[in-house]
């Protein structure tokens, strides 16, 4: 029984998979039909700014978008207001996990 246990431990240790530190994620590919849109926002957060007439919008993306754009308005209003990062304060947080 002990021999079987030792054989099982050795087999499991040899078959263990690991992620290489320089791997390329599956979604990071040249194929446009695979993976998410790199500019697609995720985890969108809305909050009131320092004044009640200010709104703060934050979101995450998979890659650098180059240009950020926010459209906002009421649901009854068919014409939305468009704001780009040229007109607003923009802070970019980059988390580098090396």
pLDDT tens per residue, range 15-31: 656 666 676 665 566 66
- d(C-alpha 49, C-alpha 65), whole Å: 24
- How large is the average pLDDT for residues 49-62? 77
- pLDDT category at 54 given cuts 50, 70, 90 is confident
**Which pLDDT belongs to residue 87?**
45
**Which pLDDT belongs to residue 31?**
63
pLDDT tens per residue, range 70-81: 766 666 656 666
- d(C-alpha 82, C-alpha 89), whole Å: 15
- Is 41:60 a contact under the CB 8 Å cutoff? yes
Where do the structural domains in the chain lie, given as residue ranges?
2-84
Question: pTM score, two decimals?
Answer: 0.40
């Amino acid at each position: 029984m002990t021999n079987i246990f030792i054989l099982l431990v050795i087999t499991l240790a040899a078959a263990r998979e690991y992620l290489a530190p320089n791997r390329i994620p599956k979604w990071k590919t040249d194929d446009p039909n695979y993976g998410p849109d790199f500019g697609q926002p995720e985890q969108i957060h809305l909050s009131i700014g320092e004044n009640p007439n200010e709104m703060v919008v934050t979101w995450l993306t998979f890659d650098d978008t180059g240009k950020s754009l926010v459209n906002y308005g009421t649901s009854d209003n068919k014409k939305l207001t468009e704001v780009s990062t040229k007109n607003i304060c923009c802070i970019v947080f980059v988390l580098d996990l090396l």
